[in-house]
Amino acid sequence: MLCQNSGALDFGNPCVRTTWSTLLPAIFVFLLCTKALFPEITQKATKPLSESFPHFISLHEAEALNDGGEKSLTDEDVLPESRVEVENLVPLWRTILLSFIALLETLFWLGAACYTFIARSEDVWDGISSVLIALTWLYAVCRPIMRPTATPPYDLFVLYILHLTMGITHLGGVVYAKDVYDAPLPPTAVIVGQVLNIIAVLMLLGVVVSMPLGIRSNRVNKADIVSPKYLLVALNLVDI
């Protein structure tokens, strides 16, 4: 309906590429917001699916149960030296960087939407798609501020992957159409914007993948944590 005479997988059509790059992130963010606003309803809806997977406890929960076994202990029952304490410290620079880059992306797509509505008023879907993409980036702006985490935020990681995939698809489609069909290239500003968009998403992914997957508790001595480098030395794979 949106792209006349084109199939859903006809990525040679710019309209199809725009539709996929809009709907996938927008639907994902919509599901995340629905889960946050209506947790009980979504939990009931996904209960049949979640019951098919095994349930595990976290490492810190296992450490807390180590002393008490299966007995439920209160804070008064546990000795101070036996309590599990975890320092959940989130660096301020990480929160600022994630939100700032996402804010630039939001402003960029809003600007693209305004330009489309004014200069190319016949391309209504392109303008609407830019607004929807800007809304997905607005979620990425608020998420690190409202719910900062020391470990990787997997919802943002998936959102970045979607934007990166669609950004590469957009740029690759332009290059493919130029080489194969000798189609005219879009304005230079559009190509530069697509390249900067991919670079920004790569920077965000770099920040996320550099975050630790777990946080040690007070029961773990930092000196006892084996560095990957010394693990390779023990395996005689590298020299110090």
Rounded to whole angstroms, the Cα distance separating 93 from 46 reads 36
Rounded to whole angstroms, the Cα distance separating 150 from 214 reads 8
Contact (Cβ atoms closer than 8 angstroms) between residue 207 and residue 94: yes
Tell me, what's the pLDDT at 240? 46
Contact (Cβ atoms closer than 8 angstroms) between residue 204 and residue 105: no
Choose from 132-146, 181-195, 203-217 the range with maximum mean pLDDT.
132-146
Per cent of the chain over pLDDT 90 is 32
Q: Which two tokens stand for residue 166?
A: 């669609």
Rounded to whole angstroms, the Cα distance separating 200 from 104 reads 9
Q: How many domains does the chain have?
A: 1
Does 136 reside within a domain? yes
Q: Identify the band that residue 87 occupies on the pLDDT scale cut at 50, 70 and 90.
A: low
Amino acid at 201: V
Tell me, what's the pLDDT at 83? 58
Does 142 reside within a domain? yes
137: closest CA among 114, 164, 169?
164
Sign of CA dihedral 231, 236, 239, 240: positive
Does 204 reside within a domain? yes
Tell me, what's the pLDDT at 12? 72
Does 222 reside within a domain? no
DSSP letter (8 states) at residue 91:
-
Residue pointed to by tokens 């309803």: 41
**Bigger pLDDT: 96 vs 88:** 96
Does 215 reside within a domain? no
Q: For residues 167-189, give the mean pLDDT.
A: 82
Beta-bridge mates of residue 33:
none
Q: For residues 171-181, give the mean pLDDT.
A: 82
Does 231 reside within a domain? no
Contact (Cβ atoms closer than 8 angstroms) between residue 194 and residue 170: yes
Q: Identify the band that residue 220 occupies on the pLDDT scale cut at 50, 70 and 90.
A: low
**Bigger pLDDT: 72 vs 150:** 150
Q: For residues 66-78, give the mean pLDDT.
A: 48
- Structural domain of 153: 14-55+87-209
Does 2 reside within a domain? no
Residue 160 has pLDDT above 80, yes or no: yes
DSSP string spanning 44-56? HHHHHHHTTS---
Rounded to whole angstroms, the Cα distance separating 27 from 136 reads 9
Tell me, what's the pLDDT at 77? 45
Residue 71 has pLDDT above 90, yes or no: no
Does 232 reside within a domain? no
